[in-house]
Amino acid sequence: MTPDDIARQMTGILTTSDSDRTEAYLPSPMVQNHASFLHRQADGSLICAWFGGSLEGKSDISIYASVLVAGQNAWGAPQRLSSDPDHSEQNPVLFQAPDGRLLLFHTSQPSGNQDECRIRMSEISVDAEDPTRLRATEGRYLDLPRGSFVRAPVAIRADGTWLLPIFRCIPRPGQKWNGSHDTAAIGISEDGGATWRLEELSQSIGCVHMSPVALGDTTMAAFFRRRQADFVYRTESHDAGRTWSAPAPTDLPNNNSSIAAIALDDGRVAIICNPVNAAA
C-alpha cells in the first residue's frame, strides 16, 4: 500500500476486513502520526490520542485525538490538544482518575533534545453537545526530573497511589543522547496527581516503555521494550508495586519497538508487540 493509498483511506470509517476484523484509518492533518494511545470511556466510546507533525522531535509536533462514539461507524474529526510552538509534544497517555477527571499526560521537549524532556499533565473534557469534541486545559509540568518520558498507562495501587511508568533518557558523558543507556523508573503520586516523586528501577539499562499489569492482590508484573533490540524484558513486584525485581529477559523477541500488556479475565497476560529482534 502506497502513502497515497493510505491517505485516501484516512476517513475514520469502520470497515470489516477479509479476516473479519473491524478497522479504520483515522483522519489526520499531519504528515507524520505516531505513538497512538487508546482509552475506553465508561459509556463505551473510544478516544485515540497520538502525536503528529512534520517529524518526530520537531517543535511542530503536537498531541491530537479523535473520538469514536459508542454505536457509531466512524471516528470523529481530529483535534489538537496541545500547542506549544517551542516544544515537541509526544507520547500521549490518557487516564481516568478515580475522582472522574480524564487526564492527559504527554512529553514536552526542546526540539531534538529528548534528555531535556519534561512531563506535562492536563485535564480533558468532552463537549456536552458534541461527544466527538474534546477540550484540554493548559495543564502543568509535573515535578519530576528532566529527561523523563512516558508511554504506558497509569496503574493504581490498592492504597490509591498512582503509578506512572517512566523511562529516563540518559546521555553518555560527552555524547548526545541516543537511547542506549535509558533506564526505567516510576512516577509516584499519593495525592491524586498534585505532587510526584520518582523511583528508579535498579539494573534496568535499556528497558523502556514499562507496561505494568496486576496479577493478584499484591502481585504485579511489568514488561519492557528493549533499546538493545533483543527480547522483551519482565520485572515483578510482590508488594503491590512498592518494589520491583531487576528486569530479566523473556523468550519474546523485541526489535526496540513499543509493546503493550494487559491482564485478561482468565489470568493470562496478552502482549501486543513486533516479535522479531536484531538477530532475526
Residue bearing cell 469514536: 68
Determine the Cα–Cα distance for residues 192 and 196; give it in Å rounded to an integer. 9
Task: Give domain status of residue 56, yes or no.
Answer: yes
- Domain residues for the domain of 48 are 29-141
Whether residue 112 is predicted with pLDDT greater than 90 in this model: the reply is: no
Rounded percentage of the chain residues whose pLDDT exceeds 90: 89
Whether residue 271 is predicted with pLDDT greater than 80 in this model: the reply is: yes
Task: Give domain status of residue 51, yes or no.
Answer: yes
pLDDT of residue 174: 85
CA angle 123, 125, 129 (to 5 degrees): 170
Task: Give domain status of residue 135, yes or no.
Answer: yes
Whether residue 190 is predicted with pLDDT greater than 80 in this model: the reply is: yes
Q: With cut-offs at 50, 70 and 90, classify the pLDDT of residue 280.
A: low
Task: Give domain status of residue 242, yes or no.
Answer: no
Give the mean model confidence (pLDDT) for residues 249-271: 96
Q: What are phi and psi of 88, to 5 degrees?
A: -85, 120
Report the chain's terminal Cα–Cα distance, integer Å: 24
pLDDT of residue 123: 98
Kindly write down the DSSP assignment for every residue of 159-184, as one continuous string. TS-EEEEEEE--PPTTS---STT-EE
Minimal CA–CA distance to 108: which of 149, 155, 52? 149
pLDDT of residue 209: 97
Long-range contacts of 243-247, Cβ-Cβ distance < 8 Å, separation of 24 or more: 244/201, 246/201, 246/202, 246/203, 246/204, 247/184, 247/201, 247/203, 247/204, 247/207
Q: With cut-offs at 50, 70 and 90, classify the pLDDT of residue 153.
A: very high
Determine the Cα–Cα distance for residues 95 and 108; give it in Å rounded to an integer. 18
pLDDT of residue 176: 87
pLDDT of residue 122: 98
Q: With cut-offs at 50, 70 and 90, classify the pLDDT of residue 279.
A: confident
pLDDT of residue 1: 83
Cα 216 from chain centroid?
A: 23
Task: Give domain status of residue 223, yes or no.
Answer: no
User: Domain containing 60 — which CATH number?
Assistant: 2.115.10.20
Number of domains in the chain: 1
pLDDT tens digits for range 23-70: 999 999 999 999 999 999 999 999 999 999 999 999 999 999 999 999
Query: Which set of grid coordinates corresponds to residue 33?
Result: 502520526
Task: Give domain status of residue 126, yes or no.
Answer: yes
Task: Give domain status of residue 222, yes or no.
Answer: no
- Mean of all residue pLDDT scores within the chain: 95
pLDDT tens digits for range 80-95: 999 999 999 999 999 9
Determine the Cα–Cα distance for residues 278 and 227; give it in Å rounded to an integer. 10
Task: Give domain status of residue 103, yes or no.
Answer: yes
pLDDT tens digits for range 206-258: 999 999 999 988 999 999 999 999 999 999 999 999 999 999 999 999 999 99
pLDDT of residue 108: 97
pLDDT tens digits for range 121-147: 999 999 999 999 999 999 999 999 999
